[in-house]
Every structure is written in C-alpha cells, then in structure tokens.
Homo-oligomer: A and B are copies of this chain.
Amino acid sequence: MADQKKMVEEITSMDVDFAKWYTDVVKKAELASYSGVRGCMVIRPYGTALWENIRDTLDAEFKRLGHENVMMPMFIPESLLQKEKDHVEGFAPEVAWVTHGGEEKLAERLCVRPTSETLFCDHYAQIIHSYRDLPKLYNQWCSVVRWEKTTRPFLRTMEFFWQEGHTMHETAQEALEETERMLNVYANFAEKCLAIPVIKGVKTDKEKFAGAEATYTIEALMHDGKALQSGTSHYFGDGFAKAFDIQFTGRDNKPQYPYQTSWGMSSRIIGAIIMTHGDDNGLVLPPAVAPTQVIIVPIAMHKEGVLEKAEELRERLSKFCRVKADTSDNSAGWKFAEYEMKGVPLRLEIGPKDIEKNQCVIVRRDNREKIFVSLDELETRIPELLQAVHDGLYEKALKRREEMTYTAKNLDEMKEIADNKPGFIKAMWCGDLACEEKLKEVVGVTSRCIPFEQEKISDVCVCCGKPADKMLYWGKAY
C-alpha cells in the first residue's frame, strides 16, 4: 500500500500539540489526506475499510430492528428545504447551492443535501396513506455537505459520510420509543464495538437539532478533555408531518398526522476513535472495527521455514479474524513501528526460535504487553486477547473520563475548573436560556447534555443561583 521504502516518521507528541498530533495520526496512519477540494478529504483505503466495518456493524443492527435502507436524491430544491421553518433557518446558511446544469441556469436552485428530512417527508407524503402503512423505518447511507468555514479531517469537513434514519409512527409514544431505542443502539455500539464510554442524555433547546422537539445524544470525552457529540437521535413530533401534509387514515377512520424521528452517526466517529484511544505512537484501533486485527511479522524471515510458517499462520487465522502477514523486505523494526502507527490491535511475531518451540510472541497494541502463546492455542487465545484489548481500551478511557469529570456549584468554581482542568463539568441548571448563554460567554463551555442518569450536585443553578433541579454535563467541545 504505502511506499515500502518510506521511513516511519515520528509524530508530534500529544502533550506538545494535540491538534498537530491528531492531524499527524490521520496522515501517517493513512486514514485520509487532503484533497484539491477545500474542506473535503480523500478517505484512503485504510480509513475506508474502517468506515466499512463501522457501516456494516451498524447496518446489521438497524436491519435486525426492522429498518430498511433507501437511496434518496442528493439534491433538495430550495422550495422543499423551506417547507419547515426552523429547519431551513438552521441549514440554509450552510448549504452548497447548485445554480447551473451544464450551460443552463436553473429556474430553481438546488442545495446539496445537508440532511434529508425534507426529502424523506416529500416521499412519505406519497406512500403513507393508512395506519397499515406504519411504521416506516427507513435509513440511508450517504454523504452530506455543510459549508463549514474551518475544517479538520473527520471532525468537521464540508462533505462527510453518515447514515440518517428517518422513521414515521402511528403514535407519539412509538416515535419516542424509537428515538430512545436508536440512541441505545449508538451507545451500545460506541461502548461494545468502539470501546468508547459515552454519556446518554438530552440536548437543551438551544443545542437541539433544527426542527426537532427533542434531541437525544451520546457524548464522549476526548484525550484532551474536549467533548465530542458521537451520535444523535431526534424526536420530531408531528411538526414536519404537518409542514409536508403527511396524513394517514387512523384506526378510527379519521385523518391523522404521523410522528417522526431521525437519527444519525457520521464519519466523525472516526475522529472520536482516534482521540479516545490514540497515543504518541499513533492510532490504536478497537478490535471490533479494526481493518486488520492481527498483523503477522516474520522474524529473521530469510531463515528456512519462517516465511512458510508466517503464511501458514495467516491462512489459519483468517478463518476467525482479520489478519495480514507483512512479508515485505522492510526490517522487522520498521514493521513494528508501522503497525503501531496503524493501530493494529495485535502483532504476532514468528521467528526460527519460536518455530522450534512451537510458539509465537503476541504483542498488544494498547499496553505493549508481550505474551508467549503456544501455536496449538491460537484459536482460543487470539479471540481472548482481542477481547482483552477491547476491555483494556474501554477501561482506560472510562478511567480517564472519570478523572477528568468535575463538579461545580457556582460560577467562580466553574470558571476555575474550565480555565485549568480540561474535561466535563457537572453542574445544576435552572433551565433558563440566559444562563446557558452566560456560561458560554463567561466560562467558555456549552451544555453537552442533560444526562438520563441524574445526580444532585446542589439545589441551585450554577449560574444564577435560582432553584434548579436539572444536572447537566458542560464542557468545551469539538
């Protein structure tokens, strides 16, 4: 894949410059590179393989829950985008406009979809007539475009990849259950597959999605103490249905509006993986989605039988994990550094002495632990070690998040923490928008979410001191 002769270059240390560390990892692990198009990435084979594993895992879960994929147009006519008032206000300032087709000026501008609620609603109006047509549980995998001023690979790009689920239900209750169900799908995926611990909660009105009645979110904490919204699930009520005149005949034979949800996870999650697990040697990938789970590195590979053994092991391991053998003529040391950079969870070393002893050396990427494993036990030991890497990553991330989560009871305390200690701040809030805005201005934090798991930090709002019964997570965020 890469130039075989290239040297593995050092990357900037996290502690020296976290932002530089991040882009170094993206580039040197060959996840993505800049393109000639401002704000757009080229997602390279390694990054694409990672995204495909994320896609396939989530897609299987969506389908298991009864969802079906569709493919909608990438364009939205301006008049369609304008149908729902809050929605167009939220998105119009940041869309790309197509004004010409070939030589011809269009009668109506088309925007490149920033999200597809309007297209789904337009379609649902055509196909939903009776309660028997409900629920509609649709999803699509695509890319969307938002005209961002400043961009960073995966975290914020003009074009990004995602899935967007859009569902329609007979009752508000069913739609609310779906909203919560899909948030749990994201939370489980983050924790069980990506080893990223998340806080589940609901966004404040200020932070919710344009046009939604409620936005549920999972929030993760990155290495540098900044939060990253990692998946969202929205409840729309019947607002869009009314705007798009989607009506069905109910069980009582009367016309009704259906209740709607949408939910999405994007290629941003790759940024979350990098910034949750990565270290100064590069990427560290959670085994469940790593394109290569085990890299076999032959030692003293020109000695008789070593290459053959490496190939034999590759063949054998390929039956139960994603494995590659690097038999190129680069040095073993180069290979160690290269696959550490790429975050491969396990490295399997096999040399003449190992073969003699019927063993191999396995090195964990997460903690560099070196384990001698009998060649007779690979079928049981490797899955165990992949699980151990997953657990190790999760525990380390959870411990870090706990250490970086603070509580504040008043504005001074909160400012003191925000200025000196990166991380989440738990604090009470009265529910007043003015307080939320003041905290952003004075303390420099935004509300991340009102967590489902509440704690009582105090009786009063951290900002205004009036009675407050909601505890929120606050922080700086990507």
Chain A residues close to B by CB (< 8 Å) = 1-5, 33, 35-37, 40-45, 47-49, 51-52, 68-77, 80, 92-104, 110, 112, 119, 122-123, 126-127, 129-130, 132-133, 138, 142-143, 145, 147, 159, 161
Q: Which residues of B contact A77 (CB under 8 A)?
A: 36-37
Query: A72 — nearest CB in chain B belongs to which residue?
Result: B42
Residues of B contacting A5 with CB < 8 Å? 130, 132
Q: Please name all residues of chain B whose beta carbon is closer than 8 Å to the beta carbon of A96 when the two chains form the complex.
A: 75, 98, 100-101, 110
Contact partners of A127 in chain B: CB under 8 A: 33
**C-alpha spacing A121/B3, complex, angstroms:** 17
B residues in contact with A97, CB < 8 Å: 98-101
CB of A71 within 8 A of CB of B48, answer yes
| Contact partner, A37, options B35, B75, B103, B142, Cβ 8 Å | B75
| A44 CB to nearest chain B CB (Å) | 6
Chain A to chain B contacts (Cβ below 8 Å), 28 pairs: A2-B133, A3-B129, A3-B133, A33-B123, A33-B126, A35-B119, A35-B123, A36-B122, A37-B110, A40-B75, A41-B73, A42-B71, A42-B119, A42-B123, A43-B70, A45-B68, A45-B69, A48-B70, A49-B68, A49-B69, A73-B159, A74-B74, A92-B102, A93-B102, A95-B102, A96-B100, A97-B100, A99-B99
B73→A3 contact, CB < 8 A: no
Residue ID in chain B nearest A129 by CB atoms: B3
Whole-angstrom CA separation of A73 from B32 in the bound complex? 11
* A37–B101 CA distance with the chains assembled, in angstroms: 13
Is B74 a contact of A159 with CB atoms below 8 Å? yes
Q: For the complex, what is the distance from the CA of A212 to the CA of B18, rounded to whole Å?
A: 45
Q: What residues on B are CB-neighbors of A45 within 8 Å?
A: 68-70, 138
* Contact of B48 with A68 in the complex, beta carbons under 8 Å: yes
Shortest CB distance A66–B (Å) = 11
Chain B residue contacts of A122, Cβ below 8 A: 35-36
Give the CA-CA distance A102 to B43 in the complex, in Å: 25
What is the bound-complex CA distance between A75 and B40, given in angstroms?
Answer: 8
Bound Cα distance A132, B328 (Å): 11
- In the docked arrangement, what's the CA distance between A71 and B110, Å? 23
A44 touches B70 (CB 8 A): yes
Q: Which of B104, B143, B147 contacts A101 (CB 8 A)?
A: B147
Please tell me if the beta carbons of A102 and B94 are within 8 angstroms of each other in the complex.
Answer: yes
Taking CB atoms, residues of chain B closer than 8 Å to A40 are: 73-75
User: A98: nearest residue on chain B (CB-CB)?
Assistant: B96
Q: Which residues of the partner chain B approach A159 to less than 8 Å between Cβ atoms?
A: 73-75
A41: chain B residues within 8 A (beta carbon): 73
| Pairwise interchain contact B68-A42, C-beta atoms closer than 8 A | no
Nearest residue in B to A75 (C-beta to C-beta)? B37
Contacts of A48 in B (CB 8 A): 68-71
Complex Cα–Cα for A97 and B98 (A)? 5
The 4 tightest CB contacts between A and B, nearest first, are: A40-B73, A45-B68, A101-B147, A43-B71
Which residues of B lie under 8 Å from residue A68 when comparing CB positions?
Answer: 1, 45, 48-49
Q: How far is the CA of A436 from the CA of B100 in the complex (A)?
A: 33
Docked CA distance A118–B319 (Å): 39
Query: Who on chain B is nearest to A143 by CB?
Result: B74
Please, which residue of chain B has its CB at the minimum distance from the CB of A110? B37
Q: Which residue of B lies closest to A99 (CB)?
A: B99
Query: Which chain B residues lie closer than 8 Å to A36 at the CB level?
Result: 77, 80, 119, 122
In Å, the complex CA distance between A130 and B92 comes to: 46
The answer to whether A132 and B73 touch (CB under 8 A), given A93-B103, A102-B95, is: no
Chain B: CB-nearest residue to A48: B69
Q: In the complex, A438 Cα to B334 Cα: how many Å?
A: 63
Which residues of chain B are near A147, meaning CB under 8 Å?
Answer: 101-102, 104
- Residues on the B chain within 8 Å of A72, using CB: 35, 42-43
Question: What 16 additional pairs, Cβ within 8 angstroms, besides A36-B122, A45-B68, A97-B99?
Answer: A1-B68, A3-B130, A36-B77, A37-B73, A37-B76, A40-B74, A41-B73, A47-B71, A48-B68, A71-B143, A74-B74, A74-B112, A74-B159, A93-B103, A96-B101, A97-B101
Q: In the bound complex, how far is the Cα of B102 from the Cα of A94, in angstroms? A: 5
Chain B nearest Cβ from A112, distance in angstroms: 7
The distance in angstroms between the C-alpha atoms of A70 and B119, with both chains bound, is 27
